[in-house]
Structure 1
Amino acid sequence: MRVVVIIPSRYGSTRFDGKPLARIYGRPMIQWVYQRALQANCVEAVHVATDDERIRVAVKAFGGNVIMTSSACRSGTDRVAEAAEHLGLGLQDVVINIQGDQPLVDSRSFDALVKPFAEDAAVKMSTLAFAIVDEREITDPKDVKVTFDNNGDALYFSRATIPYARDGGTGHAIYKHLGVYAYTREFLECFRQLPPGRLEEIEKLEQLRAMEHGHRIRVVVTPYDSPEVDLPVDIRRIEEKMAVMGL
Structure 2
Amino acid sequence: MKTLGIIPARYASTRFPGKPLADILGKSMIRRVYEQASKSTGLAEVVVATDDERILQHVHDFGGRAILTSPVHQSGTDRCAEVLGELPAFDTVVNIQGDEPFIDPRQIDLLCTCFADPGTQLATLAKKISSTDELLNPNSPKVVLNHVSNAIYFSRAPIPYLRGQEQESWHLKHAYYKHIGIYGYRAEALKAITRLPVSPLEKAEALEQLRWIENGFPIRVAITELETLAVDTPEDLQRILVNLDIMKNI
Q: 2:140 aligns with which of 134, 143, 149?
A: 143
Structure 1 residues 216 and 244, CA gap change in structure 2 (3 angstroms): closer
How far 1:71 sits from its partner (Å)?
Answer: 1.4
Percent identity of the aligned residues? 46
1:95 matched residue in structure 2: 93
RMSD of aligned residue pairs (Cα, Å)? 1.4
How far 1:117 sits from its partner (Å)?
Answer: 1.3
1:53 matched residue in structure 2: 53
- Partner of 2:115, secondary structure, is helix
Distance 1:135 1:175 in 2: 12
TM-score, normalized by length of structure 1?
0.94
Q: Does 1:4 align with 2:13?
A: no
- Partner of 2:180, secondary structure, is strand
Q: 1:200 aligns with which of 183, 202, 205?
A: 202
Distance 1:152 1:244 in 2: 30
2:118 matched residue in structure 1: 121
How far 1:161 sits from its partner (Å)?
Answer: 1.3
2:216 matched residue in structure 1: 214
Distance 2:136 2:56 in 1: 37
Alignment of 1:160-239 (within 5 A): 160-168=157-165, 169=169, 170-239=172-241
- Partner of 2:173, secondary structure, is coil
Report the number of matched residues. 244
Distance 1:164 1:89 in 2: 45
1:17 matched residue in structure 2: 17
Unaligned runs of 5+ in 2: none
Q: 2:102 aligns with which of 100, 104, 109?
A: 104
Distance 1:133 1:40 in 2: 27
Unaligned runs of 5+ in 1: none
Distance 2:63 2:131 in 1: 36
Contact 1:89 1:185 in 2 (8 A): no
Contact 2:102 2:246 in 1 (8 A): no
How far 1:171 sits from its partner (Å)?
Answer: 2.5
Deviations 1:133-183 (A, max 9, x none): 344221111111111011000011111112332222332222111110000
The amino acid that maps onto 1:152 is S
The 10-residue stretch of structure 1 (20-29 or 200-209) with the greater mean CA deviation from structure 2: 20-29
2:65 matched residue in structure 1: 65
Deviations 1:83-138 (A, max 9, x none): 11111234xx11000110111211111121121211x2211000011112344221
Structure 1 residues 242 and 216, CA gap change in structure 2 (3 angstroms): farther
